[in-house]
Amino acid sequence: MTVKDKLIVALDVTTIDRARQLISELKADVGMFKVGSQLFTLAGRNLVEEIIASGNKVFLDLKFHDIPHQVAGAARVAAELGVSLFTIHASGGSEMMRRAVEAVSETAERNNIGPVKVVAVSVLTSMDNNALNEIGVTRTADHAVEQLVRLAASSGVHGVVSSPQEAVKIRSLRRPG
């Protein structure tokens, strides 16, 4: 794996023109571009298709969280669109995560496309203990992250998204092998 393959640039910009400018300037040096909810809502699948057509990969960061059937459907569409990885919320539960992973695997096999990775978000970095308490989570953010990461790992997702503060703890939780 080259340095380029390891580099993901977040297109957290407010205009399509700025996103296209960054893609044009960086496409030779970047392996993947992250498209989040603001840019995707603004530009839609067309921009994702443009990035892929330019020879780069896409990390679709939409954090799917819904009933298992809906997330599996969204996962299938993301795979068919050609993204390389996308996010789901671990708090959607094990069935939701398993169904997303299964949908991606089936779609990749059926359409003979490369691997599509599903990564789970545990607790948003904006959520502290007080915010979690507001929604009925009585454990600390650290405990919630640990529980959700374990659930994600047992559900077959390919990885988790974490803050730098959580990375060491999460590494200690990873599955053997």
Catalytic residue of the set 34, 63, 117, 169: 63
63 counts as catalytic: yes
Nearest-5° angle of CA 142, CA 172, CA 175? 115
Per-position DSSP letters for 30-83, written without gaps between them = -SEEEEEHHHHHHHHHHHHHHHHHTT-EEEEEEEE-S-HHHHHHHHHHHHHHT-
Order of all β-strands in the sheet with 8-10? 8-10, 32-36, 57-64, 85-89, 117-121, 159-161
Annotated catalytic sites, by residue? 63
